[in-house]
Every structure is written in C-alpha cells, then in structure tokens.
Amino acid sequence: MMRNVFPLWRLALFLFVLLASPARAEEGLLPDALVRNVSEEVLETLRQKKGGAREIIALVQEKVLPHFDFRHMTQLAVGRDWRKATPEQQNALTKQFRDLLVRTYVNAVSVYSGQKMTYKPLKIAPGDTRVLVRTEVSQSGGTPIPVDYGMEKTGQGWKVYDVAVGGVSLIINYRDSFAQEIHAGGIDGLIASLSAKNRELAAKNK
Amino acid sequence: MCLKNCFWIASFLSLLFLSGCAAERAPSAQDPFEGFNRAMFAVHERIDSALLKPAAQGYDALTPLPVKTGAFNFFDNFRDIGRGGNAFLQGKGQEGLSGWARFLINSTVGLFGVFDVASEMDVSRGDADFGQTLGVWGVSSGPYLFVPLAGPFTGRDLAGFAVDQSIDPLWRQVEDHPALRNSLLGLSAVQARARLLPADRVLEEASLDKYAYLRAAYLQRRAAQIRGETALNEDEEDNDDSDLREGAAQ
C-alpha cells in the first residue's frame, strides 16, 4: 500500500516546481500551453545539469512562483476556518505556508533523472475560469504517473491553485493537520507551528 | 500462509475494536480509531528506524542498480496476475489483458520476471487490487487503519490486501518451505522499503504532522484510484467545482 503512495512524492515534489515561465509574455496563453512551455523550459535547464542548489532556487523563484496563487492554496488548506482569520492572520498564514511549500519542494528538483512529461488535451469551454490541466510523467520502465494542475483565471493570467499527483492533492494533504492545529491553538497556533517548522528547516538546510 | 495471515488479521482487528474507544483527538470521520492508529504508527516508526530502514539503507548502498531493479521486477511480476484479474472484475478489459500479457511476457522472455520486457514493449503495469475492486462495486472504505510495517489501509483495503496476498502464486508456492518463504519475505520487505527511502525526507520536511499527512495522502490516492480520475476538492463554501469534475473525466 505504501508502495503505491510513496514513490509518487519524489516526482510530485520535483514536478511542483516545474511550472515556470517569463510571466509577462505568457499572460494571454491558455492554461495548458502555459504548463507546457514552463515545464519544458525548466526541464531543459535541469537536463543540462548546470547549477547547484542555489541556481535551482533562483530558477524556481524567477520562473515558477509567479504562476502559483499561494493565497488561494492557503485558503484551500485552511478550509472553513479561513473566514475566521483576520486579514493580517491570512497574510501571515499565506507567507508561512508559501515558505514551507517552496522550501520543501525546491529540494525535490535535485532528484530529476530524465523523466518525461506528456500533456493531455485540455477540456475547456469558453468562459471557463477554472480548469484541470492534465499531464503525465513517465520514467523508463515505470508506470506513468498522472500530474494534474488545478488552474484558475485571474487578472494576471492563469494561476495554479492546486497540484495533484496520482490523484493526491498536495494542498489537501495539509487540511487535517491544519484543522488540528487550529482546534488546539486557534489561527495563531497554526501560524506559530508553521513558522516553527520553517525555522527548523532553515536551520537544518544551512 | 493464508490461514496464518487471516489469523493475524483477525486478532489485529479485534484488538483494534477493543482499543478504538481510546481515541482522544477531534474525531475524523474516516479515522474513528485515531488514538489507536497513532499508537500503531509510533510502534511502526520505532521498528522502522531500528530495523527496517537501516536494512533498506544497507541494501540500497550495497546493491548495484540492475540487481535492485531485477529484485523488484521478480516480486512484482507475480502481482500482475492479480492486477489483471482485478482490472477485469472492475470492467477494465484492456487493463486486464495487459496485466496477464505482462505476466506471460515477463515470465518467459523476461526470465522469470527479472526483466520487465513488457514495459519496454509499452504494455504498462496496472494498479488494480481487490480493495479497489470492492470500492468500484460500492463497498465503502470503512475505518482508516495503520498497520505497523505494512502501512496505511482502510478496513476494505485491508480485506482486499488479504485476498490479493492469498492468491499471489509466489507465496502459495513457498508456503510449505518456511526457510525459503521467510528469506523471500525478508528480501521482499527490504527491497520494498528501499524504494521508499527517497520519500522519507520529503515526508519529514513537508508535513506538520506526519501521521495526518500520510493519512490524507493515502485516502486521497485510494479514492482517486477507485474513481479513476483526479477530482480536486474545492473550498467548502463554493461548490462550483462541477467544471473541474467534467474537465477531469476521460
């Protein structure tokens, strides 16, 4: 059972950061084209294997992060309690959750080992503001793993608000633990736990 | 083997129901025995860090890649029979045929399954199991259960797992040869654990609470396998995710 769930994460983490692009030029693109361009560009960089951890972080920050809507992601992970949070608390939650996702997922890029992405046809009707962009990642000899990007149309183009690997949403994975933290210590308790986690990771990765 | 398995599973289940009342946290709908499951998870982590993980790390470091791949393929080859059969039971004829074709190809051309020739021929590995089949037939998942060394399950999937194991031809062949059976069991466990090593760091770093993170991942994964598609869960407040569901339908 764990066998089925676990190997996905390795890919998931690396894929999470695959979405990248020079943001402005591609604002008008359809979401599937955006995913494709960005992924291929980042894959190309990874294939050339230049740069260490520092370069990868820079790549992610410049190309990938602009396409993610971290506020929406945080709202999804917090769920019903989001509306109980003040605007300041919402900002703090978004910042801490963003740091956690970026910090943990940047590490995953280093596991890239020649996986290929294929892109499924997009199903979109005129006027749709939310779509699921479906891709598949394959490794030689392995079963292809579906990776789906939940994307939403915003004033700044299409943004990713969730990534699901093999049907597992990386955001929803946090929902239970967030609810638990809020149950125990309120919104501020969750903010404190997240920032403690980030500090711990920062100290370890130094 | 089967009888013994069934015995252990039965005693485990009765233990579970006895201690189910011990859960102290805010109850989660799918995890009514959370207190007990967390205790089992702690037991698992202790055994794993003392025994299984070091063994897996040693195996991983000392074994050349072709041997590792061969070991995985050998054990996995037998499962193609069950995966194919389950795909048929779920009404997925093509996936069922692929599964059985894989077993035939790999057992012969692939030298007793050591080489996964079928994947090279683009006959891809399925993932159907009996827990999924029950789910497709409408059996609900039952309570979440964490079994030390075996990992996360639901009641339904644990029953399915017992059925899948009992028809796995490898274990049926060796059930009367304890020494051989136990060595194979050990090797199978160590190589399976070694494949999970890269995930350890991720789970450690990404989660606020490893137990809850793993549970959410497992339950989502099983639901997606049974549904056959990804359905992103939207905010409780806005329920207009019908477009996403349609977008995900094949």
A59 or B215, which is more confident: B215
CB distance A51 to A59 below 8 Å: yes
pLDDT at B197: 84
Q: Which of B126, B206, B236 sits opposite A104 (nearest CB)?
A: B206
Is the torsion defined by CA of B157, B163, B166, B170 positive or negative?
negative
Tokens of A195: 């920032």
Please tell me the predicted confidence (pLDDT) of residue A193.
Answer: 94
Q: What is the pLDDT of residue B21?
A: 41
Q: Which two tokens stand for residue A118?
A: 């294929």
Q: Which two tokens stand for residue B222?
A: 């099983």
Over 60: is that where the pLDDT of A128 sits? yes
Q: What is the pLDDT of residue A90?
A: 95
Is the C-alpha dihedral spanning B76, B80, B86, B90 positive or negative? Answer: positive
Confidence of residue A30 (pLDDT cuts 50, 70, 90): confident
Q: How much is the pLDDT for B235?
A: 47
Token pair in block for residue A54: 């520092």
Taking CA atoms, what residue in A is nearest to B235?
A76
Q: What pLDDT is stored for residue A62 in this prediction?
A: 82
Say whether B152 and A1 touch across the interface (CB within 8 A): yes
Mean pLDDT of A110-129: 80
Burial (0-12, 13-18, 19+ Cβ within 10 Å), B54 = exposed
Q: Which two tokens stand for residue A56?
A: 């990868």
Q: Work out the average pLDDT over A111-116.
A: 72
Q: Are B106 and B113 in contact (CB under 8 A)?
A: yes
pLDDT at A21 over 60: no
Residues of A whose CB is below 8 A from B206: 13, 100, 104-105
pLDDT, residue A35, reads 87
| Structure tokens belonging to residue A114 | 């020649």
* Contact between B92 and B61 (Cβ < 8 Å): no
Please name the residue that has the structure tokens 């308790």: A189
Q: Given B26, B237, B243, which is nearest A130 (Cβ)?
A: B243
> Which pLDDT tens digits describe chain B residue by residue (250 residues)?
444 555 555 555 554 444 444 434 555 788 899 999 999 999 999 999 999 999 999 988 888 888 888 888 888 888 898 899 999 999 988 888 888 888 888 888 878 888 888 888 878 888 888 999 998 898 888 999 999 988 899 999 999 998 888 888 787 778 788 888 888 888 888 888 888 887 787 788 888 899 999 999 899 989 888 888 777 755 444 433 333 333 333 3
Angle at the Cα of A122 from the Cα atoms of B135 and B239, rounded to 5 degrees: 55
pLDDT of residue B55: 92
Mutate which: B68, B200, B244, B250, vs A, most A CBs within 10 A: B244
Query: Is B151 in contact with A2 (Cβ distance < 8 A)?
Result: yes
C-beta of residue A93 within 8 angstroms of C-beta of residue A85 = yes
pLDDT band at A196 (very low <50, low <70, confident <90, very high): very high
**Which has the higher per-residue pLDDT, A42 or A172?**
A172
Tell me, rounded to whole angstroms, the distance of Cα A124 from its chain centroid. 22
Residue A45 has pLDDT above 80, yes or no: no
Indicate the pairing of strand A145-154 with strand A130-138. antiparallel
- Average of per-residue pLDDT across A173-184: 91
For residue B211, the tally of other CB atoms under 10 A from its CB is 21
Chain B contact set for A132 (CB, 8 A): 230, 232, 244, 247-248
Q: How many residues does chain B have?
A: 250
Residue B125 DSSP class: -
Residue-level pLDDT at A97: 94
Task: Identify which has the larger pLDDT, A199 or B170.
Answer: A199
Task: Judge contact between A5 and A168, C-beta under 8 A.
Answer: yes
Q: Could you report the per-residue pLDDT of A70-108, keeping only the tens digit for each?
A: 999 999 999 989 999 999 999 999 999 998 988 776 766
A98 residue type, one letter? R
How would you class A16 by CB atoms within 10 Å of its CB: exposed for 0-12, middle for 13-18, buried for 19 or more?
buried
Task: Tell me if A180 and B206 make a contact (CB, 8 A cut-off).
Answer: no
